[in-house]
Amino acid sequence: MADDKDRLGDKLHQREKADEDRYFAQRDRELLAKLRKERSGAAPLTCPRCSTALQSIEHHDVVVDECPSCHGVWLDHGELRALAPRERESWIGRFFYRPKPVV
């Protein structure tokens, strides 16, 4: 008889767990749909100089943002770090790879 009670308790616990899993899975789907909707309506990046929408271009296998009107090229930190090793003799390479002062 005690064994029947334990099986019933286990079944109830499994049912509660399954209901909880379904609830959180549904909530996650709704939140992801909301984020996708917000992201799809996001404004494109604009040029800091002339406020024109930036276009993504590929430069030495790195995707950077370029302004079609003033031809400015805008990089984030990761893009700059990816391009710097290829340009060791240029100003950007000297900036990243200058000798560190000895203290």
Residues 23 and 73 in one domain: no
Residues 54 and 101 in one domain: yes
Rounded Cα distance between 76 and 56, Å, is 12
Q: Stretch 79-95: mean pLDDT, rounded?
A: 74
Residues 53 and 98 in one domain: yes
- Rounded to two decimals, the pTM is 0.44
Rounded Cα distance between 69 and 36, Å, is 30
Residues 47 and 27 in one domain: no
Residues 82 and 57 in one domain: yes
pLDDT tens-digit map of 18-59: 999 999 999 999 998 888 887 776 667 888 888 888 888 887
**CB contact set of 49 (below 8 Å; sequence gap of 6+):** 67, 70, 72
Task: Return the structure tokens found at 18.
Answer: 């399954």
Q: Stretch 52-80: mean pLDDT, rounded?
A: 85
**Confidence at 5, pLDDT banded by 50, 70, 90:** low
Tell me, what's the pLDDT at 87?
72
Q: Given a cut of 70, is residue 14 above it in pLDDT?
A: yes
Quote the domain boundaries for residue 70: 43-103
Residues 34 and 58 in one domain: no
Tell me, what's the pLDDT at 17?
92
Residues 84 and 34 in one domain: no
Q: Stretch 67-84: mean pLDDT, rounded?
A: 84
